[in-house]
Structure 1
């Protein structure tokens, strides 16, 4: 018995797996503002004061922290949500990777770093990735690197 498949035209892509797609004449924009807002609500940070950086400068966290433990399920849920948000927010990739190191045994100082990142997202909820459509301009990738080899207290 042969299967019959029928395709239908649903128009231009506007939303896919939590990623908002805006197609304009000059650019294509991918974002997750609705997802980010829901993540802020889920973590009780919807009313937090926004900040302009995703992490405190020179923050040093360790797995050997002796500070009080936090709800590991909530920590993992929020960090997992932040990891999904990285798809359209490369600006938070380092901070999310850093706080992900502590998923096994999260402590209060680790949770403070997560809340700081959520405050940053609150202030930048509409940010995303923009792809220019013009055929004459070439896409330019700019990359920054940090060579802080001793920044990881646990593994150096």
Structure 2
């Protein structure tokens, strides 16, 4: 059944996972039936977790990465650190010509990669993550 006006149905595919969202449940059900007729698939129900992003569907759709953030903090040895309001000290000047002991380059790059992924749900840390990303070649 076609409705008057704008129809909204979005399908997102990542490897073998398919997410379908839309404004009308009937359109979503029809799409799922069409896909099931063509492909072997199972319906896992309401989305709650996808690619490390937690999804809460209540009155509004909320995305978060608290479990991912906790793992990232543990891996970086900062699990016991206290939260702060500003993600980076104001007017911080870092330089590549540092006299401090070199850090584990592989670990540093891994943590920066994790922070870059975290920016998807935490845009407030984007500047700080971009700033420390400048030192991925030769971290100190």
Which residue pairs with 2:88 in the alignment? Answer: 55
Which residue pairs with 2:52 in the alignment? Answer: 18
Which residue pairs with 1:152 in the alignment? Answer: none
Task: Normalising by structure 2, report the TM-score.
Answer: 0.69
Which residue pairs with 1:8 in the alignment? Answer: 42
Structure scoring higher RCO (CA < 8 A, sep ≥ 6) equals: 1
Per-residue CA deviation, residues 21-58 of structure 1 (Å, 9 max, x unaligned), is 00112x10011000000011111111112222100110
Aligned partner of 1:79 among 96, 99, 112: 112
Shift of 1:98: 0.3
Which residue pairs with 1:121 in the alignment? Answer: none
Moved over 4 A (4+): none
When Rg is computed on C-alpha atoms for both structures, the one with the higher figure is: 2
Per-residue CA deviation, residues 89-145 of structure 1 (Å, 9 max, x unaligned), is 1010110000000011111xxxxxxxxxxxxxxxxxxxxxxxxxxxxxxxxxxxxxx
User: By percentage of residues, which structure has more strand?
Assistant: 2
Task: Normalising by structure 1, report the TM-score.
Answer: 0.62
Distance 2:65 2:96 in 1: 31
Local SS of the residue matching 2:88: coil
Could you tell me which runs of 5 or more consecutive residues in structure 1 were left unpaired when the two chains were aligned. Answer: 108-156
Which runs of structure 2 are paired with 1:1-156 in the superposition (5 Å)?
5-25=39-59, 27-107=60-140
Distance 1:57 1:95 in 2: 10
Cα RMSD over matched residues? 1.3
Shift of 1:7: 2.6
Local SS of the residue matching 1:83: helix
